[in-house]
Structure 1
Amino acid sequence: MKKVDRRKVLAGMSAGALALGLGARPLRAAKIEVTVAHGSPLKHVIAAQGVQPWMDRVTELTGGAVKFNYYPAGQIAKLKELLSALQSGVADFVPVPVGYVSDKLPLNGVSMLPGLGGSSQAIVTAHSDQLADGGALAKEFASQDCDPLWVMAFPPYQIVSTGDPIKTVDDFKGKVIRSAGGSMNLVINALGASPAEIPVSDMYVALERGTVGATISALSSLKPYKVDEIMKAASTNGSFGTFVNIFCGNAKKMASLPKEIRDAMVQAGKDTQTSASTFMDNEVGGLIKEFEGAGKTMYAFAPDQLKAINAELAKVQDEWVKRLADRGLPADKVLAKFRELTAS
């Protein structure tokens, strides 16, 4: 993919009344250059509702004082490489996919657990609040030289299959299901299936070739990766966890920026977090109707089966706490706080 050159776009943009009280003039004569990268298609919600709006909002708040060198869709770093790219300085800002780096950010996987929060907004608010309190979640990012700016989490994941609908606990038995890693592996194991850790960029090929027969995914991730073309069925009322991306800046780069620029980036992050979660929550109903119209079987689990599935998934939270506690990590406190925040 050819490098996206945003200079002409940014040069033509002008900010209105700046939230930082700086009027409509740029913050300084010389533009500050930063490099932004991600590993998702341009039409994916991470790019279209996350990274791009964040850059646009920073441009608005700073009067165009920041020049973005933008490398989308894995141009300089694949999904699993984004954290390393940020730490090495190859990129200054990236959305860190928590599930792909659970070895380095284990406690931040709490928001990916099943049964915590019924919407994108509930999940991102709880995670963002815990990051803001400077506790264990924030310390994990600090140890990786990252400054979190905003959180993006999908609405609760559903089970998507290329074969018959998976409607009961017994239907899961023996299945090989694509996983993004981390706590999603625990979810799949709890249901009697076998997880296959496969990056989302390879999800289509794995399903098409029959390497896996199903995936746990957000409905909004299906079209960007063309999974909607080969899927036959998907649930609508499950709560199989979610996937979380946390948009971060390289800590040294952030520290080098003028305070007014940092403040603009933080405010842009807050605005983007709110707008993205609202968009994703509102999108679910429309996607269900669209997939039904394309001949896909979209189904709700029967109450007795949903109860049985959730009973198995409840064990995942306990297993997650145990595994991390064995490593000396305060997973019980992190989970208790997250439950409190999502409940409120």
Structure 2
Amino acid sequence: MKYLTQASVAAFTVAFASEAMAVEWNVSVWGTRRAFTEHVEKLAELVEERSDGDFTMNISYGGLSNNRENLDGISIGAFEMAQFCAGYHQDKNRAITVLELPFLGVENLEQEVAVSHAVYDHPAVADEMAQWNAKMLMTSPMPQYNLVGTGAPRDTIESFDGMRVRATGGLGEMFAAVGAVPTSVTSSEAYNAMEAGVVDSVAFAQHAHLSFGTLDIADWWTENLNPGTVNCPIVVNIDAYESLSDENREILEAAVDDSIEYYLENYAELLRDWDATLEEKGVEKVRVSPEEIAELRSQAQPIHDAWIAEASANGLPGQELYDLVESTLAEAKSE
């Protein structure tokens, strides 16, 4: 038929307009799908479902950028959403490194979510992220890190002396304070570094020891060292966020809490199976004595004080951010 009816033209126009208004975001993460990325996967699922397909996310595991350059990619609009870890480039995200200080006293993932989001909401963090055209969306809560290693177990401060350990941020500083030699190779590089003997041990949360294979070549795991963790936010490009319709912006924001809740439930399942996984892989559980942990804790406060001083010297409200972590954590523990 050569001619379209007026009704057909109207229907075509509406369909074209609807397609043109659809929003598709590219999301840059790394590695493989794992517990660390389940909230991103859930977020994508929820926004697509709640927008009736009008708002979708394409999640790329390393295809858009490497993990050390995700914040740079966000800054130039190479993609709309990304995950990064503060310890990969501390100079670009100084304010949130307060969350990576050793022995802050965080006991579980719910507390980690509370302190992270409190810090993310601080104006100093928003201002610093805005320099990279980035807006904080949600955290990627991780348990306290523990070591896996090869050879004889490292379960005393004396045995840490000279230990080459993959540890970033404040954790690296703490290990260095007791004579270890920290290196900040990325999570994707940790297995090769450990296999080649470049490092003796790797500090990770449980999911990462599984996902990046360090558990496969480990002889031991410290089950109770719990020196701290790293902080890995999910950020969105400010221009992309502001260009969303009011409806899609509300859908995105509302999906955050649901995605975090899903993440916590999923991680709890992983932890329930952890002992069986260690036994299956022949990895010895090592307990560090309370006396050794107390001595390590004594090394933490000078690192905290130095962070506050350095942050303040660089124009950040260091004491205020540190106090915010402590007060939020105290409140979370009282609930």
Q: Verify same fold: TM over 0.5.
A: yes
The answer to whether the aligner puts 1:53 opposite 2:47 as a matched pair is: no
Higher mean C-alpha displacement, 288-297 vs 201-210: 288-297
1:296-337 CA deviation, whole Å, 9 max, x = no partner? 111221222222222223332222223323323221211111
Contact 1:156 1:240 in 2 (8 A): yes
Equivalence for 1:38? 29
Cα distance in 2, alignment partners of residues 89 and 214 from structure 1: 37
Alpha carbons of 1:282 and 1:114: their partners in 2 closer, same or farther (altered >3 Å)?
farther
| Aligned ranges 1:185-264 → 2 under 5 Å | 185-264=172-251
Tell me, what secondary structure is at the counterpart of 1:244? coil
1:87-118 CA deviation, whole Å, 9 max, x = no partner? 11111111122221211111101112222211
Contact 1:146 1:251 in 2 (8 A): yes
The answer to whether the aligner puts 1:312 opposite 2:314 as a matched pair is: no
Offset, 1:261: 0.5
Equivalence for 1:78? 66
The normalised TM-score by structure 2 is 0.88
Cα distance in 1, alignment partners of residues 222 and 236 from structure 2: 36
The answer to whether the aligner puts 1:148 opposite 2:139 as a matched pair is: no
1:243-298 CA deviation, whole Å, 9 max, x = no partner? 22111110001111101111111111222123213433553342133113321111
Alpha carbons of 1:314 and 1:164: their partners in 2 closer, same or farther (altered >3 Å)?
farther
Cα distance in 2, alignment partners of residues 316 and 282 from structure 1: 34
Offset, 1:209: 0.4
User: Which of 263, 267, 273 is residue 276 of structure 1 equivalent to?
Assistant: 263
User: Which of 124, 129, 133 is residue 113 of structure 2 equivalent to?
Assistant: 124
Cα distance in 1, alignment partners of residues 226 and 304 from structure 2: 13
Among all aligned residue pairs of Structure 1 and Structure 2, give the percentage whose two residues are the same amino acid: 21
Aligned length in residues = 313
Offset, 1:78: 0.6
Cα distance in 1, alignment partners of residues 268 and 152 from structure 2: 27
Cα distance in 2, alignment partners of residues 90 and 215 from structure 1: 32
Contact 1:82 1:95 in 2 (8 A): yes
Contact 2:148 2:214 in 1 (8 A): no
| Aligned ranges 1:172-187 → 2 under 5 Å | 172-179=160-167, 181-187=168-174
Query: Letter of the aligned partner of 1:46 in structure 2?
Result: F
Query: Letter of the aligned partner of 1:257 in structure 2?
Result: L
Tell me, what secondary structure is at the counterpart of 1:147? strand
Contact 1:149 1:265 in 2 (8 A): no
Tell me, what secondary structure is at the counterpart of 1:153? coil
Cα distance in 1, alignment partners of residues 282 and 63 from structure 2: 35
1:219-265 CA deviation, whole Å, 9 max, x = no partner? 11111111111011111112222122111110001111101111111
Higher mean C-alpha displacement, 168-177 vs 113-122: 113-122
Equivalence for 1:298? 285
Equivalence for 2:153? 165
Tell me, what secondary structure is at the counterpart of 1:223? helix
Contact 1:174 1:194 in 2 (8 A): yes
Cα distance in 1, alignment partners of residues 311 and 268 from structure 2: 31
Cα distance in 2, alignment partners of residues 268 and 203 from structure 1: 33
CA-based RMSD: 1.9
Equivalence for 1:5? none
Equivalence for 1:24? none
**Structure 1: 4+ residue segments shifted above 3 A:** none
| More helix by percentage | 2
Say which one has the larger Rg: 2
Alpha carbons of 1:164 and 1:319: their partners in 2 closer, same or farther (altered >3 Å)?
farther
Tell me, what secondary structure is at the counterpart of 1:249? strand
Higher mean C-alpha displacement, 274-283 vs 218-227: 274-283
Cα distance in 1, alignment partners of residues 307 and 77 from structure 2: 32
Tell me, what secondary structure is at the counterpart of 1:71? strand
The answer to whether the aligner puts 1:339 opposite 2:322 as a matched pair is: no
Which segments of 5 or more consecutive residues in structure 1 lack a partner in the other structure?
1-27
1:54-113 CA deviation, whole Å, 9 max, x = no partner? 1001112212111323322x1110100111111111111111222212111111011122
Tell me, what secondary structure is at the counterpart of 2:18? coil
Query: Letter of the aligned partner of 2:249 in structure 1?
Result: R
